[in-house]
Structure 1
Amino acid sequence: DRLKEFPCRIEYLSRLKSASQQREICEALKAGKIDIVIGTHALLRDSVRFKDLGLLIVDEEQKFGVSAKEKLKALSRQVDTLTLTATPIPRTLQFSLMGARDMSIIRTPPPNRYPISTMVSVFDEQLVAHAIREELARGGQVFFVHNEVNKLPQLHAMLLRNLPTVRCAVAHGQMRPSEIEEVMLDFMAGDYDVLLCTSIVESGLDIPNANTIIINNGHRFGLSDLHQLRGRVGRTNRKAYCYIFTPPLDVLTPEARRRVAAIEEFSDLGSGIQISMQDLDIRGAGNLLGAEQSGFIVDLGMETYQKILDDAIRELKYGEFSELYGDELSNEGEWVRAQDCQVETDLDVALPESFVRSATDRIAIYREIDLLQDESALNQFEKSLEDRFGHLPERVKSLLTIPPMRWKAASVGVEKLQLKGGRLSLHFMSPGDSPYYGSQTFAKVQGQLSRYAHACRVRQMEDHLRVDVDGVQTVGEAMTFLDYLSNG
């Protein structure tokens, strides 16, 4: 209906169409008589043929399995493809993060939208009744989601017992398509106050008057499912509410607790990417070359996994497949710097317990510092740290001088930096046959070291080069020497 004013023929294909209607649409597609076709998985059937497919748009990408995506890939080999999702599955997100797919993030919400207030609690009939009364008092409607069809009659009876005047409809996937459509249309028309349903309402519904959703047994849903369900409300300029009921948190699995905590924490508009990152961290990136779309990497950690993956890709590029990447390898930019630089020091650089009392907070802050990438991010982090904990002690200021030293060292090919006992030790990239050692960057470093030979010792270790410089007492002096190396 939204596209009816466009000067083109538009059809849709789904199970709501009769068999004869579906055949007619397929024939028109094959003949090129339809300009735009909108459909479900039905469009992936072998009987569907296109005369000249030019653009493929995949909405709700997280709902497609690997086999469906293989069919989409076959469709889209010579076709421009746009994939849309509020919460990309772990493998898709990983492909984007590693640069295999382009990704754009829409962060600006429509005007006059408000964040959805999210609350996690154990199931409470009185709280359910209160939430429904509050929404009905302002003329709104309510979704009540429970994903067990056999329990819906009990919940329906509970609602009528506590709210005898409420008009309640029931919808689930075991009903006939025509029945589901009728219930949905009646709910959209305002004939019902509450829609008691399974997760079939997760996507495709736009009901501006429904601004409270109650999700029972929320621990049984995935993060993306919870985010999608929550997105059924708050679609207008009215404050929306999401109630998620779970058993007591202490009886949930660690993964379920993390999912519930994440959906409660990330409730701002445009927070889908943060939720997807949490999902990636919880479930893992899956099999990049196989069918699994998520994988278990909790014990390994996301950053460690990413580093191992990057190292493996670089090793293959510069080894077995170097001929395929000749043009890319001729550009030194990717490999004249180390992936990262490990810093070891005996200087007094730490977060004092008197400054940050919680051990958990201190560990989280150390991790944030480790993930900083540039001066701008460091300045913002320093301001936020002072805003949270007050004036920064000298030890903390000294700690914040470490990241710039690490970045500078990595930029000249140093993988490990030790600043101990007044000595600076630089361990350059390994292995010793790395293309780095034939680069212009290393040639400059060699030239600078030769002019500084009176004050430093250069040693060839088993698989890398090591440089020791005595008389370096502070981070500032180490930075001066690194600047000297980089300015050759």
Structure 2
Amino acid sequence: RLCFLSFSCLSGVAPESTSRWETGDSPGMFGQAGATRLKDLMPGDFLVHKNFGVGQYGGLKTIAAEEKKYECLKINYSNNGVLYLPTEDLTMIYKYQQNGAGSVRLSELGKSSWLRQKRHAKQMAKGVIKDLIKTQTLRSLPRGFVYGRNDELYRALEGSFPYKETPDQKKAILSVVQDMEKEIPVDRLICGDVGFGKTEVALRAIIKAVSSNKKVFFLAPTTLLADQNYILSKERLGPLGVEIELLSRFKTKPEQKKILEKLANGFIDLVVGTHRLLSPDVVAPGLGLFIVDEEQRFGVRHKEIIKKIRSNIDVITLSATPIPRTLQQSLVGIKNISKIETPPKLRKPIETIVSYFNWEAIRFGVEREISRNGQVYFLHNDINSLPFFHEKLSLMFPLLSIGIAHGKMKTKVLESTVLSFFAGDIDILLCTTIIESGLDVANANTIVINNAQNFGLSQLYQIRGRVGRSPKQAYSLLFVPVGISINTPAFKRLKAMEIYTQLGSGYDIALRDLEIRGAGNVFGYEQSGHLSPVGFEMYCDLLKEASDEALGKHEEKKKAPSVHFGGHALISPEYVPTEDDRLYFYQRLSEAENTNQIKDVSSELKDRFGPLPGPVASLFCVAQMRVSLVGSSVQTLKIMSSFCSVMLCAFFPFSSLKSIEDKISAKQHSYKIKEKGRDIIISASVPNISASLKTARYFINLFRV
């Protein structure tokens, strides 16, 4: 065997670059993962069929009937119902994301309950779009002023950015600037994975607002995230003369009172804070810009207050929860969304290890990090037993400084601990999930997560995102207690953490655990016990339909005809051994909309597995015939060993039939034309399947659009 290794793999030294943010033209990864709808589909996973509802995937099954052989997806339904779905109909199904560990109710074939559920989901989607359009209509009135063009302050902030903006960052910043220079109030969602540079976009908007004498609120869901945003704002905006204050529980009541007085008298430009900013006693004359970080993490009551505030001022929302492309497309013209998909160039995937609890592994991980002058998070989410772990770590690492952070600590002690960790004065931070969002310490690149089986997948992903924010290799050690039996959902979560380590894998993680609270709750998809029965991916499609209808986009999709082939047409296991790969190519083929796309799939298949065997070549031939007849008058094409026929739609003009008949008679010795109801069937006798394919190509040339 031959293995190729780069210099950086052997030496641990990354290749030189002018900036860790320089990305060139590499495509964004955030939101790219998961682009294939049926990715990683395994037997036992749940699916949603547009017409038949929720079923359970039973694998690919080979169907042999008479002289033909093909593969179908077996989908099991309630009461022993089974559907065998032809691979050309894969666009009819979606993966169904299970709501946590709860049970999924399978639909029953032949019953009307699924149609009622689908109708209800459709109405819900229409309601969401209606509300969004109503909000946008109200916000479409001129705000009464326009922010000034980028001035010296803006250019100074731009010049002080220590990295080179990624292409996506540049687009997002430009979009925000252009929004602010219009007369209509800003309402934009900035979406990007953990550590991809959303906050910098917000800072550019803040300096633009402050330059136009407008006040700014920067709202965060947690004390630590607010504190992080405050520190960063002071670092970047403070030198430019921007007056900044923090309003959270890190401030005493007298301090808060003093801040509110300064704010009311116009002496503060930017207030960073938690939900304390939403209190009735917070008065800000001249408030122009409201930035909300991770809005989906606020409670219902706070969301209602946010909704009222945002009705008449400029709003920018930051979210680390991915927006699927389908959902983004459905909101074009209704919601402005900027996606930051490009990761920093020298950022490395976090090496993740799942293991039984082992103090020696912890010793090795900590010593490795400390040896390169780094810092360590040790997460143990039980306040009562934190002292035990503090004592154990102190004995194991007597020369290291170990701090404790949890939500029940006195405010000043917690603030002091966090600031000490920021400053590098603490080597190991022993903490609870209070660090889940808000801590951005580039020097901390090892995290130990104890009792990892107790966390949700998205939560684990967010926690792991505390490390890996520099060019250094980061490590995540996930431990489970020795000897315990891990249930299936927990095992799947931990396994997914090992699998999804690539940069920008937030979309896969979010869908896998169904904690899509960002995209979900913002756009009407209820979760946490109120899961839409159609599943998230199908809901996105329903939302798009509702959006198109509301915006008057009545583009009728041209229907492809049914093509029945009487020979072998399949990707056999002998040619492509793994079911996962076969399903991937079947899906690509079913989604192809023209012959060029089919050729691309064929080229990839040949490149990976060699020349196409006869049955595979037939499969691609049938697919090409299907797309060639899209929009034509042909409803059904049958290619059998003894005949080839086309069924024309009822609206086929009889005036053209004579011309067609003359052309066929010149080529075919034996054919007949008959009427079946309002449809017309043209059938030709053939000696074998090869001759039938040849006749089918002739029919296609006659009737294609």
Pair in the same fold by TM > 0.5: yes
Output one character per residue of 1:5-55: Cα deviation in whole Å (capped at 9) or x when no partner.
Answer: 224332222111222332343344445543322222222223334434333
Q: Check the 8 A contact 1:297/1:305 in 2, yes or no.
A: no
1:328 match: secondary structure: coil
Instruction: Check 1:288–1:26 CA distance in 2 against 1; reply closer, same or farther (3 A cut).
Output: closer
Q: Check the 8 A contact 2:376/2:428 in 1, yes or no.
A: yes
Instruction: Check 1:42–1:278 CA distance in 2 against 1; reply closer, same or farther (3 A cut).
Output: same
Q: Check the 8 A contact 2:348/2:468 in 1, yes or no.
A: yes
Q: 1:20 aligns with which of 254, 270, 276?
A: 254
Residues 1:96 and 2:317 aligned together: no
Q: Indicate the larger mover: 416-425 or 30-39.
A: 416-425
Q: Indicate the larger mover: 473-482 or 158-167.
A: 473-482
Q: Check the 8 A contact 2:447/2:464 in 1, yes or no.
A: yes
Q: 1:261 aligns with which of 485, 492, 495?
A: 495
Instruction: Check 1:236–1:81 CA distance in 2 against 1; reply closer, same or farther (3 A cut).
Output: same
User: Identity over aligned residues, as a percent?
Assistant: 36
Residues 1:470 and 2:680 aligned together: no
Residues 1:273 and 2:521 aligned together: no
Q: Alignment RMSD, CA only?
A: 4.3
Output one character per residue of 1:89-129: Cα deviation in whole Å (capped at 9) or x when no partner.
Answer: x8x99853642644332122234322222222232222222
Partner AA of 2:451 in structure 1:
N
Partner AA of 1:470 in structure 2:
S
Q: Indicate the larger mover: 396-405 or 139-148.
A: 396-405
Q: Indicate the larger mover: 220-229 or 23-32.
A: 23-32
Q: 1:153 aligns with which of 371, 381, 387?
A: 387
User: How far apart are the structure 2 equivalents of 1:413 and 1:30?
Assistant: 71
Q: Check the 8 A contact 2:510/2:516 in 1, yes or no.
A: no
Q: Check the 8 A contact 2:355/2:480 in 1, yes or no.
A: yes
2:287 match: secondary structure: coil
Q: Indicate the larger mover: 265-274 or 131-140.
A: 265-274
1:235 match: secondary structure: coil
Instruction: Check 1:21–1:413 CA distance in 2 against 1; reply closer, same or farther (3 A cut).
Output: farther
Q: 1:328 aligns with which of 552, 557, 576?
A: 552
Q: Indicate the larger mover: 92-101 or 184-193.
A: 92-101
| 1:78-477 correspondence to structure 2 within 5 Å | 78-88=312-322, 95-96=327-328, 98-99=330-331, 101-246=335-480, 251-280=485-514, 292-293=526-527, 306=540, 313=546, 317=549, 325=550, 328=552, 332=554, 334-338=555-559, 345-371=565-591, 381-382=601-602, 384-386=604-606, 388-401=608-621, 419=638, 421=640, 422-423=643-644, 454=661, 468-471=681-684
User: How far apart are the structure 2 equivalents of 1:67 and 1:423?
Assistant: 65
Instruction: Check 1:235–1:337 CA distance in 2 against 1; reply closer, same or farther (3 A cut).
Output: same
2:304 match: secondary structure: helix
Q: After TM superposition, give the deviation of residue 150 of structure 1 in Å.
A: 1.9
Q: After TM superposition, give the deviation of residue 276 of structure 1 in Å.
A: 2.8
Partner AA of 1:328 in structure 2:
G
Q: After TM superposition, give the deviation of residue 482 of structure 1 in Å.
A: 6.2
1:115 match: secondary structure: coil
Partner AA of 1:83 in structure 2:
T
Output one character per residue of 1:142-197: Cα deviation in whole Å (capped at 9) or x when no partner.
Answer: 11112222232233344345444443221111111211111122223333321111
TM norm structure 2: 0.54
Residues 1:65 and 2:299 aligned together: yes
User: How far apart are the structure 1 equivalents of 2:363 and 2:676?
Assistant: 75
Q: Indicate the larger mover: 469-478 or 197-206.
A: 469-478
User: How far apart are the structure 2 equivalents of 1:227 and 1:123?
Assistant: 20
Q: Could you say which residue in structure 2 is the equivalent of 1:35?
A: 269
Q: 2:285 aligns with which of 41, 48, 51?
A: 51
Instruction: Check 1:289–1:240 CA distance in 2 against 1; reply closer, same or farther (3 A cut).
Output: closer
User: How far apart are the structure 1 equivalents of 2:261 and 2:656?
Assistant: 74
2:381 match: secondary structure: coil
1:54 match: secondary structure: strand
Partner AA of 2:461 in structure 1:
H
Output one character per residue of 1:46-68: Cα deviation in whole Å (capped at 9) or x when no partner.
Answer: 33344343332222334223433
Q: Check the 8 A contact 1:281/1:297 in 2, yes or no.
A: no
Q: Could you say which residue in structure 2 is the equivalent of 1:321?
A: none
User: How far apart are the structure 2 equivalents of 1:29 and 1:458?
Assistant: 82
User: How far apart are the structure 2 equivalents of 1:126 and 1:307?
Assistant: 50
User: How far apart are the structure 2 equivalents of 1:36 and 1:345?
Assistant: 68
User: How far apart are the structure 1 equivalents of 2:279 and 2:648?
Assistant: 58
User: How far apart are the structure 2 equivalents of 1:69 and 1:200?
Assistant: 21
Structure 1 regions of 5+ residues with no counterpart? 318-324, 429-441
